[in-house]
Chain A
Amino acid sequence: MDASITMTGFVALYVFMLAAFAGWVIIGHVPAILHTPLMSGSNFVHGIVVVGGLYALLNASTTQEQVIGFIAVLLGAGNAAGGFAVTQRMLAMFQTSDAKPMPHHLHGHVHAHAKVHHLKKR
Chain B
Amino acid sequence: MFANLPQLIIGLADLAAAFLFLYGLQRMSSPATAPSGILVAGFGMVAAVLASFLYVFSVSAAARPHLAVNIGLALIALVVGGGLAWFSGKKVAMTAMPQMVALYNGMGGGAAGAIAAVELFGNKTQGATQLLVTLLGALIGAVSLSGSLIAWAKLDGVIKQPLRIKGQQAVNAVAMIAALAVGGMILVATLGGAPVLLATPTWIYVFFGLALLFGVLMTLPIGGADMPVVISIYNALTGLAVGLEGFVLQNPALMIAGMVVGAAGLLLTLLMAKAMNRSVANVVFTNFGDAPKQVQGAIKGSLRPVEASDAGIAMRYASKVIIVPGYGLAAAQAQQKLYEFVKLLQAAKVEVKFAIHPVAGRMPGQMDVLLAEAGVPYDLIFQLEDINDDFASTDVALVIGANDVVNPAARTEKSSPIFGMPILNADKAKQVYVVKRGEGKGYAGIQNALFYGDNCNMVYGDAQAVLVKMIEAVRGLGAAAA
Q: Chain A residues in contact with chain B, CB under 8 A?
A: 1-9, 12, 15-16, 19-24, 26-62, 64-66, 68-97, 99-100, 103, 106-107, 109-110, 113-114, 117-118, 121
Q: What CA separation (Å) do A76 and B81 show in the bound complex? A: 8
By Cβ-Cβ distance, the 9 closest A-B pairs, closest first, are A35-B365, A85-B89, A82-B85, A23-B263, A23-B260, A72-B114, A19-B259, A77-B81, A73-B77
Q: What CA separation (Å) do A51 and B88 show in the bound complex? A: 22
Q: For the complex, would chain A's binding face be called helix, strand, loop or mixed by DSSP majority?
A: helix
* Cβ contact within 8 Å between B34 and A23: no
B437 to chain A, nearest CB (A): 25
Q: A30-B29, A53-B115, A113-B346 are in contact. Are A44 and B45 (CB under 8 A)?
A: yes
* Cβ contact within 8 Å between A51 and B369: no
B73 to chain A, nearest CB (A): 5
* Cβ contact within 8 Å between B41 and A44: yes
* Cβ contact within 8 Å between A19 and B256: yes
Q: A23-B260, A76-B108, A92-B35 are in contact. Are A1 and B1 (CB under 8 A)?
A: yes
Q: Which of B20-28, B219-227, B281-289, B398-406 contacts A (4 or more CB under 8 A)?
A: B20-28
* Cβ contact within 8 Å between B104 and A79: yes
Q: A12-B247, A69-B73, A82-B100 are in contact. Are A33 and B356 (CB under 8 A)?
A: yes
A116 to chain B, nearest CB (A): 10
B195-239 at interface with A (beta carbon < 8 Å) = 231-232, 235, 238-239
B351 interface hit (Cβ, 8 Å): yes
Q: A81-B83, A82-B100 are in contact. Are A20 and B114 (CB under 8 A)?
A: no
Q: A40, A51, A70, A88 — which one has the most chain B CB atoms within 10 A of its CB?
A: A51
* Cβ contact within 8 Å between A65 and B108: no
B365 neighbours in A (Cβ, 8 Å): 32-39
* Cβ contact within 8 Å between B77 and A52: no
Q: Mark B20-52, 1 if CB is under 8 A from A, else 0.
A: 011011101111101101110110010011001
* Cβ contact within 8 Å between A45 and B261: yes
Q: Which of B378-386, B443-451, B459-467 contacts A (4 or more CB under 8 A)?
A: B378-386
A68 to chain B, nearest CB (A): 5
A-B contact count (CB 8 A): 423
A100 to chain B, nearest CB (A): 6
Q: What CA separation (Å) do A23 and B339 show in the bound complex? A: 35
B26 to chain A, nearest CB (A): 5
* Cβ contact within 8 Å between A81 and B85: yes
Q: What are 15 of the A-B contact pairs (CB < 8 Å)?
A: A6-B250, A16-B259, A24-B263, A26-B26, A37-B34, A39-B101, A49-B245, A56-B114, A69-B118, A77-B81, A81-B82, A84-B38, A91-B31, A106-B347, A114-B377
Q: A59-B55, A59-B60, A72-B111 are in contact. Are A32 and B45 (CB under 8 A)?
A: no
A76 neighbours in B (Cβ, 8 Å): 81, 107-108, 111
Q: Mark B88-100, 1 if CB is under 8 A from A, else 0.
A: 1110101001001
* Cβ contact within 8 Å between B121 and A78: no
* Cβ contact within 8 Å between A43 and B105: yes
With A34-B31, A49-B245, A54-B49 already in contact, 9 other A-B pairs whose C-beta atoms are closer than 8 Å: A16-B255, A23-B260, A39-B264, A43-B261, A49-B242, A75-B114, A77-B77, A83-B104, A84-B41
* Cβ contact within 8 Å between B28 and A41: yes
Q: Mark B68-85, 1 if CB is under 8 A from A, else 0.
A: 011101101110111111
* Cβ contact within 8 Å between B25 and A52: no
Q: Which of B4-12, B170-178, B325-333 contacts A (4 or more CB under 8 A)?
A: B4-12
Q: What CA separation (Å) do A100 and B368 show in the bound complex? A: 17
A52 neighbours in B (Cβ, 8 Å): 111-112, 115, 242, 245-246, 249, 251, 254
B267 interface hit (Cβ, 8 Å): yes
B29 neighbours in A (Cβ, 8 Å): 26, 29-31
A21 to chain B, nearest CB (A): 7
